Amino acid sequence: MQRPFYSVPSPLVGEGQGEGEEVRERGGQCGLRSVSLSHKGRGTGSFLYVEREMKKILVLPGDGIGPEIVTEAEKVLEAVRERFGLEVETERGLVGGAAYDETGEPLPETTLQQAREADAILFGSIGGPKWDAVERDKRPERGLLRLRSELGLFANLRPAMLFPQLADASSLRPEVVSGLDILIVRELTGGIYFGQPRGIREENGERVGFNTDVYSESEIRRIGHVAFELASARNGRLCSVDKANVMEVTELWKEVMTELAADYPRVELSHMYVDNAAMQLVRAPKQFDVIVTGNLFGDILSDEAAMLTGSIGMLPSASLDEQRKGLYEPCHGSAPDIAGQGIANPLATILSLAMMMRYSLDRGDVAEAIEAAVERALDQGWRTADIATGGGRGASTGEMGDAVVAALRE
């Protein structure tokens, strides 16, 4: 049986393959810890930092349903704070359209400063029709892109896992998706979304649009190590997705991934063209364990994988830097069509909080408790409208959050 993504014992550090090392026991006032997402001195090296007891979480609710779903995750955080004596402090900040309305910027400098000082960030969602006409540089989405790039959040982890209770909610047949548990690792700060030159120019009397897909060897190696290490801690299969038959940038991607494989003998590396990967994800998704790919392909494939699980309202994500500081957010957007109605599904955000506990706060035990509470709420029949198959009103956002909190307190 496959191990669910949330039971990965020691994320980002494979059996005997990573470099993370406890140099002082946990539990004192502070502990020094060496954490690395690189391997054997290659790549970007390891880091020493002081592990404080009190962790700082920045909460950025954003726009649309963002404030509604984040409120539920904050309730869950309060419940785990009580149950586990977790020493965390939270503060809220402005981002996206809400920040633009107040300050004229989608990512005000104060928010960026708060984000730099935090150990982890819980993010709701941004954007909406209200800001569609705003000049491009000030749009809400720019705030998120800048936050990711300013903080160096290069590794985007998007698990797509089907809770057995929701097998009927997928648009695919239950036998194709039941037990689905895949992890997409997407490079987030490079590739065609950031490459220069880019723009729209006049050429021979017509407009020409252009972007540049560019990856350096070190950028590929950095995300490759994360993916290999995660694959070693899961089922040992890594599929690198490229378009090496036509794009040189992904030819290099494929070569570097192949070179890295020598360092991870326990991981079985395969390569797949992106068009085939898109097809295989709906034909036989369970063939995958971990998928690693660049920014553009990862954007598209992870949304496709999201739908395999029934609702985008169930899917968490993490975006990590090299020290595992992370921004945690649901995979979905601000859902303007249902904002303010109190019917949004808060589980993706609550599960993002669980990922935060595991990856940035080193509290796998708390993460497991949150995930178990979500399962318990589903077992008890709680469903928001997006995952309800039998019709009916569906639970409100607040009722679903309360059900998870109650399960945590049982």
Active site residues: 193, 243, 275, 299, 303
Task: Calculate helix-pair angle for 248-261, 217-233, nearest 10 degrees.
Answer: 50
Q: Would you say 155 or 269 has its CB closer to ligand NAD?
A: 155
HEC per residue, 359-396: HCCCCHHHHHHHHHHHHHHHHCCCCEHHHCCCCCCCEC
Pick from 108, 333, 364, 401 the residue near ligand NAD by CB under 6 A. 333
Q: Would you say 69 or 88 has its CB closer to ligand NAD?
A: 69
| Binding letters toward ligand NAD, positions 252-281, x by CB under 6 A | ------------------------------
User: In angstroms, what is the minimal distance from the CB of 111 to ligand NAD?
Assistant: 14
Is the separation of the CB atoms in 97 and 63 below 8 Å? yes
Closest C-alpha to 7, from 326, 340, 372:
372
Is residue 93 a contact residue for ligand NAD (CB under 6 A)? Answer: no
How many Å apart are CA 319 and CA 194, to the nearest integer?
16
User: What tokens does 143 get?
Assistant: 């705030």
Q: Between residue 118 and residue 137, which ones bind ligand NAD under the rule CB under 6 A?
A: 125-128
How many Å apart are CA 239 and CA 236, to the nearest integer?
10
Pick from 336, 375, 388, 394 the residue near ligand NAD by CB under 6 A. 336
Q: Would you say 182 or 400 has its CB closer to ligand NAD?
A: 400
User: In angstroms, what is the minimal distance from the CB of 14 to ligand NAD?
Assistant: 29
User: In angstroms, what is the minimal distance from the CB of 348 to ligand NAD?
Assistant: 6
DSSP string covering 71-84, please?
A: HHHHHHHHHHHHHH
User: In angstroms, what is the minimal distance from the CB of 313 to ligand NAD?
Assistant: 3
Strands 199-203 and 206-210, sheet pairing: antiparallel
Q: Between residue 63 and residue 92, which ones bind ligand NAD under the rule CB under 6 A?
A: 65, 69
Pick from 95, 143, 386, 404 the residue near ligand NAD by CB under 6 A. 386
- What's the one-letter identity of residue 391? G
Burial class of 335 by CB neighbour count within 10 A (0 to 12, 13 to 18, 19+): buried
Pick from 345, 355, 382, 404 the residue near ligand NAD by CB under 6 A. 345
What lies within 8 Å, CB to CB, of 305 at 6+ separation is 158, 160, 182, 184, 281, 285
Binding-site residue total for ligand NAD (CB under 6 A)?
22
Pick from 191, 313, 316, 326 the residue near ligand NAD by CB under 6 A. 313
Pick from 141, 251, 259, 368 the residue near ligand NAD by CB under 6 A. 141
Is the separation of the CB atoms in 72 and 366 below 8 Å? no
Positions touching ligand NAD (CB under 6 A) are 65, 69, 125-128, 141, 144, 312-313, 329, 332-338, 344-345, 348, 386
